[in-house]
Every structure is written in C-alpha cells, then in structure tokens.
Amino acid sequence: MVERPISKNTSARPGRVLHRNIGLAFFRIGMLGFGGGPSSIPLVHQEVVKKYEWMTDDEFGDTLALANTLPGPIATKMAGYVGYRVAGLWGCLNALLSSIIPTVVLMIVFLGLLQTYKDVPWVENMAASVVPVVAVMLALLTWEFIKKSGQTLGWMRALLLLALSAILIEAFNIHPAFVILGCFLVAFSSLLKRRKKA
C-alpha cells in the first residue's frame, strides 16, 4: 500500500478560498446529516477525505476513533477538529458554526411552525426515507475500513481483530472507548519496554 503524502491545504496562513471551502463543506454536512451525529460521518469522509483531501483515510480513521472515545456529540467534535487542523482556531469556529447554526435556525423556525401545524406526516416520511441512504453510506465506509485493515494487517490478523472487537463491543457490551484504549495500550507497550531499557 502506497502512503499518500500529508494532505494539502495545511498551510499556516490559509486564504479566503480555504475558509469558503470549510464553510461550504460543513454547511453541507450539517444540512444533509439526517438521523443525528453518526449519520454525518460518511458525509464528513466524503468532504474531508475525498473532495478536499484535507486528510488521508488513515488520519480520518484516527480522528474518528478518538472522537468516539471522548464524550459529547461526535459530529461537532469531528467538525471542530478538522476545521482547526486545516485553518487553526478560525477554521475550527468556521466549521462548527457552519455545521450547527443553519440547523438550529431551522429548529427554531420549525418548532414555531409546529404550534400551527401539529403533525405533518410527509415531513416525517421525508426524514425517514433518508435513513436507508445513510445505512448504505455507512456500509460502504465500513467496507473501506475492512479492506484497509486486510491490506495493512494481513487478512488473518485483520479478521481476528474484527471478530474480537465485534465480540467485545456487541456481545460483552464493552464501551468502544475501552476497546480503543486497549489498542493504545498494545501499540504503546513497545514504547514502554524501550523506555525501561533506556
């Protein structure tokens, strides 16, 4: 597997174009993520890795792992971090505001309307029809990660690890954060050994 160089646009002094792109990317992510935070994960991947190439697949995976480990809403953590990474503090604010503000404004407007029109079946159905699309997007993303695992770890080890984490997370109901922390421990154990020798 060929490692791609570090993503573009990581300059210390981003231009106006970059900020416009961050704003647009996260506006789209915010407005299209039906079904809460997790549904925006494939959209973030689409914008950040595929379209703008601000991150590599690996970096996206690491970001997602860490975002999953920490408390709080996942979509905003991803947005804030990606924005920060691409364009510092202003980038962080830009990504956050672009993904949150439009939806909050919609929320305030809609709840106002709700008092007038109590229940609108076709609106509910609209949102519900997006859920299967999100499922397919997540499935495709899942497959990408499985394929990559196989390529980097070898299929035997990859399948073993996949099975192991599936059992831990679903069967034993161990919080994913602990599984990810376990990965940290395994990965850094060699570092501790080296430290001890030194």
> Please, are residues 146 and 162 in contact by the beta-carbon 8 Å criterion?
yes
Least distance CB 87 / other proteins (angstroms): 13
Nearer to other proteins by C-beta: 23 or 100? 100
Least distance CB 64 / other proteins (angstroms): 6
Nearer to other proteins by C-beta: 16 or 118? 118
Nearer to other proteins by C-beta: 16 or 67? 67
Q: Choose which of 7, 23, 24, 31 interacts with other proteins (CB under 8 A).
A: 31
Distance of CA 36 to the CA centre of its chain: 12
Q: Choose which of 122, 156, 172, 196 interacts with other proteins (CB under 8 A).
A: 122
Contact between 28 and other proteins per CB under 8 A: yes
Least distance CB 94 / other proteins (angstroms): 13
Q: Give residues 133-192 in contact with other proteins (rule: CB under 8 A).
A: 133-142, 145-146, 148-149, 152-153, 158, 161-162, 165-166, 169-170, 175-177, 179-180, 183-184, 186-188, 190-191
> Please, are residues 176 and 188 in contact by the beta-carbon 8 Å criterion?
no
Q: Which long-range contacts (CB under 8 A, 24 or more apart) does 72-76 make?
A: 73/37, 74/37, 74/38, 74/41, 75/29, 75/30, 75/33, 75/36, 75/37, 75/40, 75/41, 75/44, 75/99, 76/37, 76/100
Q: Choose which of 63, 86, 87, 94 interacts with other proteins (CB under 8 A).
A: 63
Q: Give residues 72-111 in contact with other proteins (rule: CB under 8 A).
A: 72-77, 80-81, 84-85, 92, 96, 99-100, 102-104, 106-108, 110-111
Q: Which long-range contacts (CB under 8 A, 24 or more apart) does 58-66 make?
A: 59/7, 61/145, 61/148, 65/180, 65/183, 66/180
Q: With 0-12 CB in 10 A as exposed, 13-18 as middle and 19+ as buried, what is 75?
A: buried
